């Protein structure tokens, strides 16, 4: 489905964007390993997280809903049932990689596949360290690509340096570590999102964290996990689109309610502030062990270009496309480097962003590991491709709001992967 987005006068309003995708995935995956019933309030019902629900049902976990609250009937650390058929991971890298960590230590055989995009994404980064733990994983290209097979085995703990600072890899190893003899340690050059370790700690796992020059997290073999009650906050990666719109469109002001502001996740908001945007966190509080805030964002006409370097990427890894969009309105050249991980997301996001910016009349340069965006540019408008990547579709929809001739987005309906209500929410805050 194509969408066409035109210039608007302003945006105003209050929005509670959908719940956090990372925490929603974990609220099913980790609780399915607990002894008993966990509850999940404000679970994200979107393409990727519904894939997780589906997969865990096929692994024998009862997941039901009572008055809008999801209940996960955990069956213990080794309670999964062998799936009768191939597991379809859809578009979801998080479901795939975390589930490899779950299945590696179960007494079963499973085959995992996914859609065209997911079948191109690298799995060796998780399969290799899991193999070091004794996991039996095979697949296309020597176990690099889906479809992958896993035959559960008895695991041993390892120490692993997570060079790419991937939270999915870290999470897979910590999950496998619950069932592995001894201790499993993951070290990171830059701390990636820490929802897995936080949740596992609350569930009673033997988690040890050391936050020195490098970040390190260890888990020991665990007998059982307690069920937990989780209330999922709003996703900062979804809130980012509306924050960007408010910053760029004249006369705008928006309040984004209940947003997760965990420091491993809110790098985009900190970067906007550094650019000179008017952003305020209010009502900062805690919700099931995670910091949340209501974020007020106002039109900010005097934005300055910024540099984004490698160490900053993990806390804003999914927000680089929308940051690039904002950079088109900042004085000077924004230079983003150390972001080669973007090439292996739902699409090659470096290529997708640069190509699309050029298609709407913006000067941008593609780097191996990032991009350079010239600021204070007029957005002519034109036709862009989402490459069936939800974040590309939403980022360029937001750019359409300040375009002279409008922006038409190919396959814009892929927004449903993380934000099914995106276009309705956009309509609801637009002042024509």
- Sites for ligand S3P among residues 369-408 (CB under 6 A): none
Q: What x-and-dash track marks residues 69-108 binding ligand S3P by CB under 6 A?
A: -------------------------x--------------
User: What's the half-sphere exposure (Cβ side, CA atoms, 13 Å) at 169?
Assistant: 25
- We find the least distance from the C-beta atom of residue 113 to ligand S3P, in angstroms, to be 19
User: What's the half-sphere exposure (Cβ side, CA atoms, 13 Å) at 194?
Assistant: 26
Which of 22, 52, 162, 356 is close enough to bind ligand S3P by CB under 6 A? 22
* Contact present, 261 and 292 (Cβ < 8 Å): yes
Q: Is 193 in the site for ligand S3P (CB under 6 A)?
A: yes
- Rounded to whole angstroms, the Cα distance separating 55 from 20 reads 19
Q: What contacts 291, CB < 8 A, 6 or more positions away? A: 260, 261, 262, 284, 285
- We find the least distance from the C-beta atom of residue 171 to ligand S3P, in angstroms, to be 6
- What are the b/e assignments for 148-177, b being 16+ CB within 10 Å? bebebbebebbebebebbbbbbbbbbbbbb
Mark the segment that binds ligand S3P (CB under 6 A) among 164-172, 178-186, 261-269, 381-389. 164-172
* Contact present, 102 and 130 (Cβ < 8 Å): no
- We find the least distance from the C-beta atom of residue 368 to ligand S3P, in angstroms, to be 18
Mark the segment that binds ligand S3P (CB under 6 A) among 137-145, 163-171, 303-311, 361-369. 163-171
Structure tokens at 221: 């073999």
- Catalytic one among 318, 385, 411, 413? 318
- We find the least distance from the C-beta atom of residue 129 to ligand S3P, in angstroms, to be 13
Residue placing its CB nearer to ligand S3P in the complex, 30 or 317: 317
Residue placing its CB nearer to ligand S3P in the complex, 189 or 406: 189
Q: Is 349 in the site for ligand S3P (CB under 6 A)?
A: no
At 92, which helix (H) or strand (E)? none
Q: Is 167 in the site for ligand S3P (CB under 6 A)?
A: yes
Q: Is 339 in the site for ligand S3P (CB under 6 A)?
A: no
Signed CA dihedral, 210, 212, 214, 215: sign only: positive
Q: Is 38 in the site for ligand S3P (CB under 6 A)?
A: no
- We find the least distance from the C-beta atom of residue 141 to ligand S3P, in angstroms, to be 18
Q: Is 266 in the site for ligand S3P (CB under 6 A)?
A: no
Residue placing its CB nearer to ligand S3P in the complex, 3 or 193: 193
Which residue, among 94, 89, 113, has the nearest Cα to 30 in the 3D structure? 94
Strand partners, 374: 333
Residue placing its CB nearer to ligand S3P in the complex, 25 or 299: 25
- Rounded to whole angstroms, the Cα distance separating 386 from 411 reads 6
DSSP letter at 311 equals G
66 is annotated as an active-site residue: no
Q: Is 347 in the site for ligand S3P (CB under 6 A)?
A: no
Q: What contacts 66, CB < 8 A, 6 or more positions away? A: none
**Which residues are known to be catalytic?**
318
Per CB under 6 A, residues contacting ligand S3P are: 22, 25, 94, 166-168, 171, 193, 317-318, 341
């Amino acid at each position: 489905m194509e969408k066409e987005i035109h210039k608007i006068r302003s945006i105003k309003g209050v929005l509670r964007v959908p719940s956090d995708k990372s925490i929603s995935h974990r609220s099913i995956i980790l609780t399915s390993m607990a002894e008993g019933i966990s509850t999940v309030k404000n679970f994200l019902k979107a393409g990727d997280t519904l894939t997780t629900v589906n997969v865990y049902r096929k692994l024998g976990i009862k997941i039901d809903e009572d008055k809008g609250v999801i209940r996960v009937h955990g069956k213990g650390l080794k309670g999964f049932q062998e799936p009768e058929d191939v597991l379809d991971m859809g578009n979801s890298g998080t479901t795939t990689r975390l589930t490899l960590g779950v299945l590696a230590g179960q007494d079963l055989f499973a085959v995992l596949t996914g859609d065209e995009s997911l079948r191109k994404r690298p799995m060796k980064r998780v399969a290799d360290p899991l193999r070091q733990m004794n996991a039996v994983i095979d697949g296309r290209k020597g176990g690099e690509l889906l479809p992958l097979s896993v035959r559960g085995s008895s695991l041993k703990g390892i120490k692993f340096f997570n060079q790419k600072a991937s939270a999915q890899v870290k999470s897979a190893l910590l999950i496998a570590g619950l069932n592995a003899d001894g201790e499993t340690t993951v070290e990171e050059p830059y701390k990636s999102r820490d929802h897995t370790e936080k949740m596992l700690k609350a569930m009673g796992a033997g988690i040890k964290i050391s936050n020195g020059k490098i970040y390190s997290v260890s888990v020991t073999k665990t007998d059982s996990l307690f069920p937990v009650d989780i209330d999922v906050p709003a996703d900062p990666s979804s809130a980012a689109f509306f924050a960007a719109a408010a910053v760029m469109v004249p006369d705008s002001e928006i309040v984004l309610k209940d947003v997760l502001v965990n420091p491993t996740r809110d790098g985009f908001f900190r970067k906007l502030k550094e650019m000179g945007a008017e952003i305020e966190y209010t009502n900062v509080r805690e919700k099931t062990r995670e910091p949340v805030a209501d974020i007020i964002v106002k039109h900010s006409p005097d934005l300055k270009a910024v540099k984004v370097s490698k160490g900053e990427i993990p806390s804003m890894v999914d927000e680089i496309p929308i940051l690039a969009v904002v950079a088109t309105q900042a004085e000077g050249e924004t230079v983003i480097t150390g972001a080669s991980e973007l090439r292996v997301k739902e699409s090659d996001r470096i290529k997708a962003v640069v190509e699309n910016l050029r298609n709407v009349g913006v000067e941008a340069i593609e780097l191996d590991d990032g991009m350079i965006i010239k600021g204070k540019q007029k957005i002519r408008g034109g036709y862009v491709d989402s490459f069936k990547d939800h974040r590309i579709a939403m980022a360029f929809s937001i750019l359409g709001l300040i375009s002279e001739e409008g922006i038409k987005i190919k396959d814009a309906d892929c927004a449903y992967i993380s934000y099914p209500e995106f276009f309705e929410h956009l309509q609801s805050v637009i002042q024509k």
